[in-house]
Chains A and B, each alone.
Chain A
Amino acid sequence: MFDVFPPYLVFFIGALVLPLIPNDARRGLVSLVIPIICAYQIWELPHGLHAQLGFSGWELTLLRVDKLSVIFGLVFSLAAFLSLLYAWHVRDTIQQAAALGYAGSAIGAVFAGDLLTLFIFWEGTAITSVFLIWARRTQGAFATGMRYLVIQVASGVLLLGGVALLYRETGSIEFNAMTLGSAATWAIFLAFGIKCAFPLLHNWLQDAYPAATVTGTVILSSFTTKLAVYALARGFPGTEILIYIGAVMTLFPIFYAVIENDLRRVLAYSLNNQLGFMVVGVGIGTDLALNGTAAHAFAHILYKSLLFMSVGAVLFRTGTAKGSELGGLYKTMPLTMIFCVIGAASISAFPLFSGFVTKSLILSDAAHEGYYIVWGILLFASAGVFHHSGIKIPYFAFFAHDSGKRPKEAPTHMLLAMGITAFLCIAIGVYPDPLYALLPYEVSYVPYTTTHVVTQLQLLFFSALAFTVLMRTGIYPPELKSVNLDTDWTYRKFLPTFIERISTSIANFWMVGGWILQRKLNRIVKRLHSSYGPEGRMASVWPTGAMVLWIAVILGATMVVNFV
């Protein structure tokens, strides 16, 4: 049927077959083999357009293989493998199948050569992933999943609308670089922007990710948003507005991350901040910057998974991921703590850790191209991310005040998943060449120069100094049981209250109006009754007198009409 078998179909076959396999280690094993097969096939794929088929008059391309799609396909497969290993203990068929379908959709979208195929997989990621939230099976998770689904599907509908308009404009549905201008391209841009969590469109991320299951959040963190980054890199490279959008994205989530109590939500905010770096890279659009985006996405998926895994392990053992409830866990969960610190060092871009060799591609290109203010913001955001992800997460979970909790170390499969991820984070940082070789363009970038190492260490250690000083002087805000208002307040509180007010006032208006009308009608009926009712004045002469009178009147009228 196809010249080349699309590798991501393995995931869908797996998701269909999985329920037939006994729900024990065997099923776990099968689900682990799937990403390995997929990655191997992606590695072997010949570059070019493949698996093209006609579909009711459309020419669809199911596989567009080039370096940009391959690197995202590979890291998605890797992320799927690591999160499925982490989720080895899960015996919930819905979650198992949803995870496979979700990863398969994300990889399918990455290889889509036309916008219609992209749309199908785009919606696929939304519909499969929501089950990872609903799988928590609480009222809160159900409502959160609904909000998530509405926003994700809205992004898909917007994409489809944009594709239809674009087809009318250009007569083509190929997925190539576009220039922002027409309604079509704006619609597609916004659809990407929703999934990429642009400022003001971002809040589905912080709302939904902490609501998923322990393992669900790890899986969610890898795909949707990085798929959107890929789509932007493919569709809108060098679009200048992205630089400023990205800069704002790196900036505002760090403020929220400092005061947020739920550590998984802190991580969701810092995920948003890291996406900002990638979006800036896409906006700059030079070879070096796009390389930076791809490399940073690769490293980011790994260290972000690692951080979500370690906080997830804490949640798994203690039943909470809130900073206010945790502390002192390093005594009984030292390995989880060390993996968490490795993830924290990677996201903070410490030398010898993965973030250092990838984020700097974007930062130095921003300075190169003369975006000094953006560079300054990114530098601030780098320090800020160290502050809340690098220090806050490990500090409040594993150190700080002793919460009295003495949970057992994370289960072996979780430790194994975290161990492999941590190893990769360090390996990329120490020896980045294999990652650089995968990048879409030729790289001649040397991350380890004296200037870069010293300046980065200065930035990080003085941020740590600021944390220490603020902590010791008591200025640092303590972790408090709370929620913080973000843009979701508009559709979770303001709009419902607003609509409720309007509907109550309309209802009241009708009630009062109806009441007045009814009173008037009652009065008329009463009056009629008093004149024409059985006791009425007219009734007293009713039987013959009135009848004769009316006949006389009608007769008279007829005569007048006839003779005049």
Chain B
Amino acid sequence: MEPRKTDPNKLPWLGRKLLWLDNMRNVDRIVYSLYALCAALFLADFFYKKKTYLDLEDVPGFYAIYGFIMCAALVVCARGMRTFLMRDESYYAPNDVEAEEYPEDQLEREEADV
């Protein structure tokens, strides 16, 4: 569906404040501050006495490097797994809920007036 026009004045107060995120330049700002924060955290390792059990932990930025590499590997592996694990949504139908609609009478589907 196309992004639709929303009247900001009708949004809940918090939603209105968060519209700030709609601007891609602000998203870029968040990303740059994440980069800066990561750099600062990496450097923080040089400024305090680490209490460790393993020699590995003494490597400066060990947790940072480990977190980054493992997460990247996780996503790349998982993406690869899709090639042989992914099936169509109706693969198990009709004995599966994935391909059916959620019963409407159990929902309170309400659109916000915006």
Min C-beta distance of A230 to chain B, whole Å:
29
Tell me if A305 counts as interface (CB < 8 A to partner B): no
Interface residues on chain B, number (Cβ under 8 Å) = 74
In chain B, positions 74-97 with a C-beta closer than 8 Å to chain A are 74-79, 81-82, 85-89, 91-97
Contact present for B86 and A462 (CB under 8 Å) = no
Closest chain B residue, CB of each to CB of A384: B74
Could you tell me the distance between the alpha carbons of A379 and B72 in the complex, rounded to whole angstroms? 14
Q: Which chain B residues border A456 with CB–CB below 8 Å?
A: 63
Do B85 and A332 have beta carbons less than 8 Å apart? Answer: no
Interface string of A239-276 (1 = CB under 8 A from B): 00000000000000011101100100000000000000
Question: Which residue, B41, B51, B97, has most C-beta atoms of chain A within 10 A?
Answer: B97
The complex places the Cα of A269 from the Cα of B109 at a distance, in Å, of 27
User: Is B50 touching A144 in the complex (CB atoms < 8 A)?
Assistant: no
Q: Is B3 a contact of A406 with CB atoms below 8 Å? A: no
Closest to B108 in A: A316
- Whether the Cβ atoms of B21 and A461 lie closer than 8 Å is no
How many angstroms from the CA of A76 to the CA of B86 in the assembled complex?
Answer: 36
Inter-subunit contact A461/B38 (CB<8 Å): yes
Q: Is the CB of B111 within 8 A of A466?
A: no
Contacts of B107 in A (CB 8 A): 214, 315-317, 319
Chain A residue contacts of B77, Cβ below 8 A: 255
Choose one: A136, A316, A383, A485; the contact of B71 (CB below 8 Å): A383
Query: Could you mark each residue 46-90 of chain B with 1 if its beta carbon is under 8 Å from any beta carbon of chain A, else 0?
Result: 001011111001000111111110111011111101100111110
Known: A140-B93, A372-B54. A319 touches B101 (CB 8 A): yes
Per-position 1/0 for B5-17, Cβ under 8 A of A: 0100001101100
Which residues in window 521-539 of A have CB below 8 A to B?
none
Asked if B102 and A317 sit within 8 Å, CB to CB, the answer is: no
User: Residue A463 at the B interface, CB < 8 A?
Assistant: yes
List A residues 135-162 near B (Cβ within 8 Å): 136-141, 143-144
B114–chain A nearest beta-carbon distance, Å: 5
- Say yes or no: B31 contacts A468, CB within 8 Å: yes
B106 proximity list for chain A (CB < 8 A): 136, 213-214
Contact of A335 among B14, B21, B91 (CB under 8 A): B14
Assuming the A-B contacts A140-B99, A332-B114, A461-B38, are A317 and B94 also in contact, with contact meaning beta carbons closer than 8 angstroms in the complex? no
Pick the contact of A408: B34, B48, B50, B110 (CB < 8 A): B110
Interface 9-mer from A282-290, A474-482, A499-507 = A474-482
Contact call A451/B42, Cβ cutoff below 8 A: no
Instruction: Report if A549 contacts B (CB, 8 A).
Output: no
Q: Which of B53, B94, B99, B109 contacts A319 (CB 8 A)?
A: B109
Residues from chain A with Cβ under 8 Å of B99 in the complex: 140
Q: Are B67 and A460 in contact (CB under 8 A)?
A: yes
Cβ–Cβ contact A136 & B78, under 8 A: no
> Is B74 within 8 A of A138, CB to CB?
no
Q: A387-B74, A404-B2, A468-B31 are in contact. Are A315 and B68 (CB under 8 A)?
A: no
Contact B3 A480 (CB under 8 A): no
Q: Given that A318-B109, A477-B82 are known contacts, is A140 also in contact with B95, CB under 8 Å in the complex?
A: yes
Asked whether B97 lies within 8 Å of A210 as measured between CB atoms, the reply is: yes
Chain B residue at minimal CB-CB distance from A467: B71
Residues in chain B near residue A466, CB distance under 8 A: 67-68, 71-72, 75
Measured CB to CB, the nearest residue on chain A to B94 is A139
A140 touches B34 (CB 8 A): no
Inter-chain contact A451/B97, CB cutoff 8 Å: no
Pair A258/B86 contact, Cβ less than 8 Å: no
Known: A384-B70, A384-B71. A483 touches B88 (CB 8 A): yes
A170 contacts B by Cβ under 8 Å? no
Judged by DSSP, the binding face of A is helix
**Nearest chain B residue, comparing its CB with the CB of A254:** B74
Contact B75 A387 (CB under 8 A): yes
**Chain B residues near A470 (CB-CB < 8 A):** 72, 75
Asked if A483 and B91 make an inter-chain contact with CB atoms under 8 angstroms apart, the answer reads: yes
Chain A nearest Cβ from B81, distance in angstroms: 6
Closest to A485 in B: B85
Contact A404 B1 (CB under 8 A): yes
Interchain CB contact under 8 A, B112 and A139 = no
CB distance A454 to B96 under 8 Å?
no
Output the least CB separation between A397 and chain B (Å): 14
B78 near A477 with CB under 8 A, answer yes
- A258 adjacent to B12 (CB under 8 Å): no
Assess A482 versus B89: contact at CB under 8 Å? Given A451-B51, A454-B48: yes
Cβ–Cβ contact A259 & B54, under 8 A: no
Query: Complex formed: what's the CA distance from A333 to B71 in Å?
Result: 29
Query: A46 within 8 Å of B by Cβ?
Result: no
Given contacts A259-B82, A399-B21, contact A315 B75 (CB under 8 A): no
The B-contacting residues of A in range 313-342, CB under 8 angstroms, are: 315-320, 328, 330-335, 338
Please state if B68 and A463 are interface contacts (CB–CB under 8 Å). yes
The CA-CA distance from A406 to B34 in the complex, in Å, is 29
Interface centre among B42, B50, B85 (most CB of A within 10 A): B85
Any A CB within 8 A of the CB of B25: no
Residues of A within 8 A of B (CB): 89, 136-141, 143-144, 210-211, 213-214, 254-256, 258-259, 262, 315-320, 328, 330-335, 338, 364, 367-368, 372, 375, 379-380, 383-384, 387, 399, 401-409, 411, 449-451, 454-470, 472, 475-477, 480-486, 492-493
B: residues with CB less than 8 A from A are: 1-4, 6, 11-12, 14-15, 18-19, 21, 31, 34-35, 37-38, 41-42, 44-45, 48, 50-54, 57, 61-68, 70-72, 74-79, 81-82, 85-89, 91-104, 106-112, 114
16 contacts between A and B (CB under 8 A): A136-B106, A259-B85, A317-B108, A317-B109, A319-B101, A319-B104, A331-B15, A335-B14, A379-B63, A380-B74, A383-B70, A407-B109, A455-B50, A463-B71, A476-B79, A481-B89
Top 3 A-B pairs ranked by shortest CB distance? A143-B95, A404-B1, A334-B14
